[in-house]
Amino acid sequence: MTAPDRTAPDTLSILVIGSGLGGLLAAVRAADAGHHVVLVTKSVLPESNTRYAQGGIAAALFRDDSVDAHVLDTLRAGAGLCDPAAVRVLCAEGPARVRDLIRFGVDFDRDESGVARGLEAAHSRSRVVHAGGDATGAAVEAALVATVRRRAAIDVREHTMLVDLLVDDGVVRGGRVLCPHGVQHNIDADAVILATGGAGALFSHTTNPSVATGDGVAAAWRAGASVADLEFYQFHPTALAAPGTPLVSEAVRGEGAVLLGSRGERFMLAEHPDAELAPRDVVARAIARQMERQGGAPVLLDATALGRELLETRFPTITAACRAAGLDWAVAAIPVAPAAHYWMGGVKTDAWARTSLPGLFAVGEVARTGAHGANRLASNSLLEAAVFADRAVRALGEPGRASTSRPADLPHSLSTSTIPGLLPETAPGSSPADLATLVDRRKLQRFLWDFAGVHRSGAGLTSTAASLAECTAPPASSTSVAALEDRNLLDLGRLLVAAALAREESRGAHFRSDFPDTRPDLARSVSQTLELVPAREAIAC
C-alpha cells in the first residue's frame, strides 16, 4: 500500500459529510492538523448509526489476546472475501484508536481487572470493550460531539443533506447540499470525506435510525466512484420484535442467553457447533428458518438465567426497550427476529480511505474497505470507522489516488434492461410487480425485505429488478429531504438487487436458495459498473 506524501500543502478545506464516529473523528483529526473543516449532517449532530451501537468495540488490548488472533477471527467471519491487508490494518491500528477514544473522553466500563470486556459471536477471545453497559455507541457519540464543539476550526451545519458530489474533470471538488431552509447550494472543498453510514432504510425491518438512507453511497456512485460488495447486507439475528425494532446486542448471547423455538427448544444446537455464538449470518438464517416452521412467529431469546442484576447493569438500554414494550426479560424470554443492520459493501476504498475519484474519501459503513468481507465480525464496525477516519486525514492532500481498477465481474452480470422475464416466487397476496411505476418507500422496503433480505432466489430478485427498473425517482432538484432520500434508496435498491443477481452462490450474508453452496471460484468482489439508470449524475463546478 502507498503511504501518504508529506510534501502536500499544509492547509486544505475539508468537507466532512456525516456525524457518526467516522465523520466526527475525521473532523477532529483534520482540524487538529490545521485544516479548515465544514461538517454537515442531515439531522442533529448526535444522530447517527453510531449512537445506537450497543455491543462495543473489538480490539486486541489484553495480554491474553493478539492482533493475529483478531485478524484470524475477522477473516473467518468474512467468508473468504476479506482483503487481508485491510484486515491487518484494522486489527493492528485498532488498539491505538481505542486509546484515542479514551483520551477524547469515552469512559469505557471497568471491572476488578481494569477495562471490562465481553465475548461476542465468532470471537475466539473476550475482547469487546463497552461503555454504559450496552450504550457504547451513545458514549462514543457524546464524547466526540463534545470534542467537535470545542474545535473552533470546525464549522458544523446541522439539518444539511448531501444531494450530490461536485465533480470537475474527474476530481471531486465539494458537494451540493440541501440546507435547512429548503434551498440547495454548493460547498466547495479541496477534499470530501464521506461518513454517511449505511442504508437500513432499504428494508422494512432494520435496527438503523431513519436517517440511514445510503446518501453517500448513492451520491458517490452517481459521480462515477467504484462501489463493491453491495449484495452483502448483514441482518442482525436478534432485534426485539416490537415497534421500533430495537437491537438486542449479540453480547447478550455472549453472556449466556439462548435462542428458543415456540415450544421452548434450543434450535441453534443443531445448526452450528457454536450454537448461539455462530457467525451472524448463520444465526440470522437459522432464526428465519425457525420462524418459517412456526408460521412466522418470532423466536424467543431467553436471558432469564443471567439474573435481573446483570441484565439491568450490563444491558440497561435493552432493559428499557423491553419495559417500553411491556416485557420483563428477567422473568420471561423475549421475542426476537432478524433485522437489517450493517452494509459490508459501499464505496470502494484503498487502505488510506481513498476512493477511485481523486479528492473523495470514504470512512465507516459508507465505505467498502475490504475489512469485513462477506460478513462483518461483531463489534468491528466502530473500530473500522475510527481506524480509517484517522488514515483518511493522514492521507489528505497527497497527490495519489486509490486504484481505479474495479472488482472482477462475476458470471452473468445483469443490466436491468436485459433481465429476462421470470415469474416471481411470491408469498400469497404479494408480488414484486406491485412495486412498479411510482416510488413508494414502504413498498420498496417491503419487497427488498421479502426478495433481497435474509433469503433470496434468482426468480424473486429478477422480478424485483424488473419492477425497480420501471420506477421513477424524484428529481435531483427536489427541496424535500424525503424525496431526495427516496431517490437514493431507489438507486441503491437497484444496485443491491443487481449485485445479488450477479452473485450466483451463497456466501456470508448473501444466501440464494437457487445457489445454496459457496463457490471457491467466486471468492472475489462483484463489479458494480452496470448502467442501472439512464446516466450518472454529477454536478460540474
Q: Which pLDDT score, from 0 to 100, does residue 9 have?
A: 55
> What's the pLDDT tens digit per position in 72-111?
999 999 999 999 999 999 999 999 999 999 999 999 999 9
> Which amino acid makes up residue 498?
A
For 246, residues 6+ apart whose C-beta sits below 8 A from its C-beta are: 207, 239, 240, 318, 321, 325
pLDDT at 417: 26
Higher pLDDT, 42 or 418: 42
Residue type, 330: A
Distance, in Å, from the CA atom of 86 to the CA atom of 371, rounded to the nearest integer, reads 5
155 has pLDDT over 90? yes
Rounded-to-integer distance, Cα 68 and Cα 70, Å: 5
The number of distinct structural domains making up the chain is 1
**Is 292 contained in some domain?**
yes
User: What confidence tens digit (pLDDT) does each residue in 382-416 have?
Assistant: 999 999 999 999 999 776 544 434 444 444 332 22
Strand partners, 37: 14, 154
Q: Among residues 117, 210, 78, 146, which one has the least CA distance to residue 485?
A: 210
Query: In this structure, what DSSP letter does residue 474 have?
Result: P
Which distant-in-sequence residues (6+ apart) come within 8 Å of 334 by Cβ? 240, 248, 300, 301, 303, 322, 327
Q: Find the range with the poorest average confidence among 46-55, 209-218, 253-262, 359-368.
A: 46-55
Helix, strand, coil abundance in the chain, percent, nearest 5: 35, 20, 50
Residue 450 domain-assigned (yes or no): no
In a domain? residue 328: yes
- Is the pLDDT assigned to residue 527 strictly greater than 70? no
Chain mean pLDDT for the chain? 89
In angstroms, the CA 86 to CA 396 distance is 19
Is 70 exceeded by the pLDDT of residue 434?
A: no
Which sequence positions are flagged as catalytic? 280
Check which CATH number belongs to the domain holding 302 and give it. 3.90.700.10
> Position 476: which residue type?
A
The answer, yes or no, to whether residue 428 has pLDDT greater than 60, is: no
Is residue 54 within 8 Å of residue 26, measured between CB atoms?
no
DSSP-assigned letter for residue 188: E
Contact, 205 vs 373, CB < 8 A? no
> What is the pLDDT averaged over residues 215-226?
97
The Cα-based distances of 531 to 221, 416, 438 in angstroms read 11, 8, 20
User: In this structure, are residues 132 and 138 in contact, taking their beta carbons and an 8 Å threshold?
Assistant: yes
Dihedral sign (CA 434, 435, 441, 445)? positive
| Residue 300 belongs to domain spanning | 233-340
SS3 letters across 138-154 = HHHHHHHHHHHHCCCCE
Q: How confident is the model at residue 431 (pLDDT cuts 50, 70, 90)?
A: low
pLDDT score recorded for residue 2 = 53
- Least confident range from 301-305, 462-466, 530-534: namely 530-534
List pLDDT tens digits, range 452-465: 999 999 999 999 99
Helix (H, G, I), strand (E, B), or coil: what is residue 532?
coil
The answer to whether position 348 is within a domain reads no
Instruction: Please state, for a pLDDT cut of 70, what percent of the chain lies above it.
Output: 88
* Res 421 pLDDT > 50: no
Distance CA 398, CA 291 (A): 52
**pLDDT for 121 beyond 90:** no
260 belongs to a structural domain: yes
Question: Residues 305-315: pLDDT tens digits?
Answer: 999 999 999 99
Q: Where are the alpha helices (DSSP H) in 78-135?
A: 84-103
487-506: pLDDT as tens digits: 999 999 999 999 999 999 99
The closest alpha carbon to 208, from 183, 233, 177, 172, belongs to 233
Q: What is the mean pLDDT of residues 165-178?
A: 97
Res. 41: pLDDT tops 80: yes
Whole-prediction pTM: 0.89
* Residue 205 backbone dihedrals phi, psi, to 5 degrees: -125, 115
Residue 501: inside a domain, yes or no? no
Contact 258, 290 (CB under 8 A): no
Quick one: average pLDDT of 473-485?
A: 95
If you average pLDDT over residues 515-531, what whole number do you get?
77
Which of the four pLDDT bands, split at 50, 70 and 90, describes residue 525? confident
Read off the pLDDT band of 53 (50, 70, 90): confident
- Across 282-288, average pLDDT: 94
Let me know if residue 146 belongs to a domain: no
Q: Cβ atoms within 10 A of the Cβ of 408, count?
A: 11
**Per residue in 314-350, pLDDT tens?**
999 999 999 999 999 999 999 999 999 999 999 999 9
**Residue 333 belongs to some domain of the structure:** yes
Provide the pLDDT for residue 529: 43
Rounded Cα distance, 267 and 287, in Å: 9
Q: Give residue 483's pLDDT band: very low, low, confident or very high (50, 70, 90).
A: very high
Residue 377 has a CB neighbour count (10 Å cut-off) of: 28
Residues 4-21: tens digit of each pLDDT: 554 455 899 999 999 999
Q: With contact defined as beta carbons under 8 Å apart, do 496 and 489 qualify?
A: no
